[in-house]
Chains A and B, each alone.
Chain A
């Protein structure tokens, strides 16, 4: 293995920066393979540098604190990244020494900007920060309230966000039961906690259905998903990613999660979602997106290249020949015309309503 690892870096002289978002997700998925071991070693090599970088700004404990707090919450598998961001911002409020809402707002703005720039590729991170800042802005307009009361209310709101996230998943799972019927076959792509919750609730309601999982290279998220589903007693079949078109005729519906829901009503999700949606749309299979409302973001991509690039390492198992390019993007954008419905904690929405909700929220 060592000679192969040594040869791999040379074909790519300038490796693109690895997306921390997908790195964390890979750790959470914890698929133990030889590839994972190699990546774990690389990650371990990278993390001491990150810790050192974090240690560098001790003179400004507030600034460094938000990143440390975020990393602390981020490592918990059951917590979404948005929840980690909200928790970090709540910690900033708690440790803040500001005496007016204006000062607190400015301080939060700096912390929020620092969080967003820490990983520019994470949509839910940006969306959560914007959402919390919007809430803070609206709270600060309530002049009649005292500063201490407002501050404690903000902290309480931030800390309850984790509950909101869990409740959101349960709400979405409840709403989704109307779409799952006995004898249906569901195609899922990627590892999504919300989709897993949906299928778990359907199984506990004693519905009989079958699940087809895509393999989900290079992270092999499908293996993790199939493992969880099999543990619940759900019949599951794993497909290699290119077998979707072959198997689509036995599929009744497609369930996917979303890394972000954008203003056009489309979604940004793990690479391959757009391809599956195109196939399902052509074969007249409905595509349902299960996503929490805090993943709604004020972005409007026009095509795949219109997003901030998010790269991740891909191990093909053999050395890549010199001079060969590798597409390392981790996600794609699915336009709204290929999506049937969005199952969110705000209700079952058509893609065109996403923009309306965002306008209501931010206008």
Chain B
């Protein structure tokens, strides 16, 4: 029956245009049914062909997407574009009102489309000029939304409010992209905006399918609160979709690296000033979350544990100041709020695995709150849950890791570490306190040079240190007896996902027969499997690579002008498990092959869903 509706509506559309009769809904639907053969006879007409072609196009469109949510936006947008022809639009609206009423699902879909169409008005005009096929589809969909407004005033008010929210979000995106220069730049900017807006419905549908929300209001809120689909880039099965969109995203940043086109590459320089200038405009955002976002963007807070703790403390503050709106349940509204905060933090910097696991923990605790609890009791319970998570999974876990790792540090050992890891530093400090006689080799690499901070702290404590760059690691490895590494995450096949360069250090150590000890908290484990560091990674600011301290002359000042030159600043790499001797975690010392057991036992503790 649903498939038959579009053809009938299209044929009904043909009838009124010719006769200009039937201003009432039942009258319009009645003549359309007995007149199909007449429509077929009239098909040869040139004017009627586009109308008849639209049904199969819409069918293909819906089947390809497999999501009814995707149909309404272009239709309604096209209706706005057809403003110059009010009489024809009015006729079509009257003709198609019957099928819309018969299907409640279409009502929901059209309402959502209505919301999206308001924010899409400017870009829709551009799309219409480029693609005639889409215009035909919009002809079909445009009239569907108007009857909704006439039906219920409440729905109309909600639509207007949410359209305004979407418009604000669009404005923010436009400002953040920072592309408002001359005519040429504006042309490039518009496709980028369109691409970003196109991502919104897909992200919304993804979230809807993942959360399986059956009620309309919470579903709509979640979709609106989750406008940024960057998290999808971390999933392997989303790579294909990301690659398709990558073509449109080319103007996101100049000189994108081809191999990492599926990862978001943005211009970094303008992000922080834009965000700072909008401090008083981000009213829905809690100040503590906003502060953490700024810290992420500026790099003041970095490292898996520090970022996770900062995020959780910000959420704790937000929960403390939270009040449940009327007509809403705490668990659903708070989850939506947390999701919006997460989206904002993802904008500032993509999440690490530890943060993702912590967010899942928090959302599961919110979902499990008893309904009988009062608001203050629920908030107190959530705050204590966050404190417990920080203490047990991060602080106490680090202490347990130190107690395990210290058994592997002996007198006259030479310990090599790469970059700066909090737990590795704790191990070295504790070994020094115990009076172990050992030496530390700090290996560093550009552009972050994190090892320098670690070196200063170790030397200040009186530990004997050697500092070298990663280029010289094979030269120094022959005198090393142990390698201690931190990790951003450990995946279920034993792959260590950590700061870029870690794999090189581990491979050189393995070639020299030096044991590699990876220290990682269990809450950073993830059930994902990853074989390389290309399908999921985080791209840093390419301009940072150019800045060499102490060098006045800048040979690559205008590198972006050369189309054949791309700079790549990777953040993470993946170390295969073959090069790891031992993983020290708060559940003991494991071979890399036992990571899935830890992940499974974590589930049994019911910390996740």
Give Cα distance in the complex from A336 to B587, angstroms.
21
Report whether A263 and B601 are in contact in the complex, using a CB–CB cutoff of 8 Å.
no
Interface residues on B, range: 10 to 19
Q: Does B209 sit within 8 A of A, measured CB to CB?
A: no
- Supposing A359-B597, A363-B601 touch, asked if A263 and B589 sit within 8 A by C-beta, the answer is yes
- Supposing A355-B597, A359-B598, A363-B601 touch, asked if A302 and B591 sit within 8 A by C-beta, the answer is no
| B203 CB to nearest A CB, Å | 37
Give Cα distance in the complex from A306 to B408, angstroms.
7
Q: Does B581 sit within 8 A of A, measured CB to CB?
A: yes
CB < 8 Å neighbour of B594 from A303, A355, A362: A355
Give Cα distance in the complex from A157 to B606, angstroms.
32
Interface residues of A in 265-306 (CB under 8 A from B): 265, 298, 300, 302-303, 305-306
- Supposing A302-B408, A302-B581, A303-B515 touch, asked if A264 and B591 sit within 8 A by C-beta, the answer is yes
Report whether A298 and B591 are in contact in the complex, using a CB–CB cutoff of 8 Å.
no
Q: Does A360 sit within 8 A of B, measured CB to CB?
A: yes
Report whether B408 and A263 are in contact in the complex, using a CB–CB cutoff of 8 Å.
no
> Which of A300, A306, A358, A360 neighbours the largest number of chain B CB atoms within 10 Å of its CB?
A300
CB closest chain-B residue, reference A352 = B593
Q: Does A356 sit within 8 A of B, measured CB to CB?
A: yes
Interface residues of B in 513-566 (CB under 8 A from A): 515, 517
Report whether B515 and A265 are in contact in the complex, using a CB–CB cutoff of 8 Å.
no
Q: Does B236 sit within 8 A of A, measured CB to CB?
A: no
Q: Mark A321-362, 1 if CB is under 8 A from B, else 0.
A: 000000000000000100000000000000010011011101
Report whether A359 and B594 are in contact in the complex, using a CB–CB cutoff of 8 Å.
yes
| B480 CB to nearest A CB, Å | 13
Residues in B neighbouring A355, C-beta threshold 8 A: 590-591, 593-594, 597
Give Cα distance in the complex from A264 to B584, angstroms.
12
> Which of B582, B591, B597, B598 neighbours the largest number of chain A CB atoms within 10 Å of its CB?
B591
Give Cα distance in the complex from A182 to B594, angstroms.
37
Interface residues of B in 585-605 (CB under 8 A from A): 587-591, 593-594, 597-598, 601
- Supposing A356-B597, A359-B601 touch, asked if A263 and B588 sit within 8 A by C-beta, the answer is yes
Interface size on A, residues (CB 8 A): 18
| A191 CB to nearest B CB, Å | 29
| B600 CB to nearest A CB, Å | 9
Interface residues of B in 389-439 (CB under 8 A from A): 408, 410
Give Cα distance in the complex from A306 to B481, angstroms.
12
Report whether A300 and B594 are in contact in the complex, using a CB–CB cutoff of 8 Å.
no
Give Cα distance in the complex from A8 to B498, angstroms.
56
- Supposing A302-B515, A303-B515, A306-B408 touch, asked if A363 and B594 sit within 8 A by C-beta, the answer is no
- Supposing A302-B408, A302-B581, A303-B515 touch, asked if A363 and B593 sit within 8 A by C-beta, the answer is no
| A85 CB to nearest B CB, Å | 22
CB closest chain-B residue, reference A335 = B581
| B507 CB to nearest A CB, Å | 17
Residues in B neighbouring A336, C-beta threshold 8 A: 591
Report whether A359 and B588 are in contact in the complex, using a CB–CB cutoff of 8 Å.
yes
Residues in B neighbouring A362, C-beta threshold 8 A: 588
| B254 CB to nearest A CB, Å | 48
Give Cα distance in the complex from A305 to B412, angstroms.
13
Report whether B587 and A359 are in contact in the complex, using a CB–CB cutoff of 8 Å.
yes
Report whether A356 and B588 are in contact in the complex, using a CB–CB cutoff of 8 Å.
no
Residues in B neighbouring A352, C-beta threshold 8 A: 591, 593-594
Report whether A363 and B582 are in contact in the complex, using a CB–CB cutoff of 8 Å.
no
CB closest chain-B residue, reference A355 = B594
Give Cα distance in the complex from A265 to B515, angstroms.
16
CB closest chain-A residue, reference B598 = A359
Report whether B582 and A264 are in contact in the complex, using a CB–CB cutoff of 8 Å.
yes
Give Cα distance in the complex from A356 to B595, angstroms.
9
Interface residues of B in 464-517 (CB under 8 A from A): 482, 515, 517
Sampled A-B contacts (28; CB under 8 Å): A263-B588, A263-B589, A263-B590, A265-B591, A298-B588, A300-B588, A300-B589, A302-B408, A302-B482, A302-B515, A302-B517, A302-B581, A302-B582, A303-B515, A305-B410, A336-B591, A352-B591, A352-B593, A352-B594, A355-B590, A355-B591, A355-B593, A355-B594, A359-B588, A359-B598, A360-B597, A363-B587, A363-B601
Q: Which positions in B face A, CB cutoff 8 Å? A: 408, 410, 482, 515, 517, 581-582, 587-591, 593-594, 597-598, 601
Q: Which positions in A face B, CB cutoff 8 Å? A: 263-265, 298, 300, 302-303, 305-306, 336, 352, 355-356, 358-360, 362-363
18 further A-B pairs in the complex, CB-CB below 8 A; given A263-B588, A355-B593, A359-B601? A263-B591, A264-B582, A264-B591, A300-B582, A300-B588, A300-B589, A302-B515, A302-B517, A302-B581, A302-B582, A352-B591, A352-B593, A352-B594, A355-B590, A359-B587, A359-B590, A360-B597, A363-B587
